[in-house]
Amino acid sequence: MEPPLLLDPSLVASATHGVAFQMGIYIEISTRPATLVIDRCGVLRYARRVTSFSNRPAPEEVLRIATGNVPPAPPERR
Amino acid sequence: MNALKGANEEIREFAAQTLSFLATHAPRDSLLALLESDANPTVRLYAADGLGAAGHGAALAERLEALRTLESDRDVKKHIGYTLSRGATGVDPRVLADLAGFEPSRIDSARVGEPAPKIDLESYSGGRVRLSDLRRVAPVVLVFLYGDTRPVCHGQLVQLRQAIAENPAFADIRVFAIDPHERVAARFLLGVGTGE
């Protein structure tokens, strides 16, 4: 089963996360590719916002951060 | 409109983008003039978006078709097409309502180590998802998609799903993909991505 897909037609979620309308793509609107982790307490623990659609973090790395069993990530380079 | 008359191209592009967001309040003839004669394709692209968002696509159909034929930039051509396809409809009223209630200080406010911004979005499969409802229940991974490209955009979600299935330590993690575009979402879930 695919992960749930949430629709953000007004781009308020992507704008809040700093990834709205920042890439050209051959569809009408788009966002920068980004992967974020929020812990159980609702704190943002990881954010990787990139400029290439092929630049994605390793799934294991992201999921380990989500479990809370790794030290905090260094400051994000943007 | 005054910012569009300056010499700084970055400022002009930003002004055109802002104008496209405010399209329902922007003068139609000014947007059309930009689309017809501005030398910067990014400015022309946002002028086309502005005309589409305000629902001028139907009334200007003949003129827009002519401009699309003359247009040299591939992206601008496509966006003129989007404007034509919107016809007289313009921006969905629900989108306008979202934007009217959006506080600009929220832009780019998500910071690592700080409380995550609230997310309350409609799910493609129905219903709404509020991430605050999940707090203390499960850690959350959010993936902002770029498009429907395979194998990369789709592949990231497949790999996350597989890793969760294979490792019990990840079992309670919830993954959500976010995309602005319903059409992309539909193609994505049907597995008919572009393959790029």
> Does position B28 have pLDDT exceeding 80, yes or no?
yes
Selection from A8-12, B85-89, B186-190 with the highest mean pLDDT: B85-89
B151 contact A CB<8A? no
> Does position B194 have pLDDT exceeding 60, yes or no?
no
Residue of B78, B144, B190, B196 for testing the chain A interface, max A β-carbons within 10 Å: B144
Work out how many CB contacts closer than 8 A connect A with B.
Answer: 222
- B147 CB neighbours in chain A (<8 A) are 25, 27, 30, 53
Q: Which two tokens stand for residue B64?
A: 């827009």
Per residue in A5-53, pLDDT tens?
898 888 889 889 988 765 555 555 677 889 999 999 999 999 999 877 7
Distance (Å, rounded) from C-alpha A2 to C-alpha B154? 9
Segment B191-196 shows an average pLDDT of: 42
ipTM of model over 0.90? no
pLDDT range class, residue B38, cuts 50, 70, 90? very high
Which of A6, A45, A69 minimises the CB distance to B178? A6
Please, which residues bridge with residue B30 across strands?
none
Per residue in B63-85, pLDDT tens?
999 999 999 999 899 899 989 99
Give the model's pLDDT for residue A10.
Answer: 82
Segment B130-154 shows an average pLDDT of: 76
Secondary structure class of B144 (helix, strand, coil): strand
**A51: nearest CA in chain B?**
B146
Distance (Å, rounded) from C-alpha B101 to C-alpha B96? 9
Segment B156-175 shows an average pLDDT of: 92
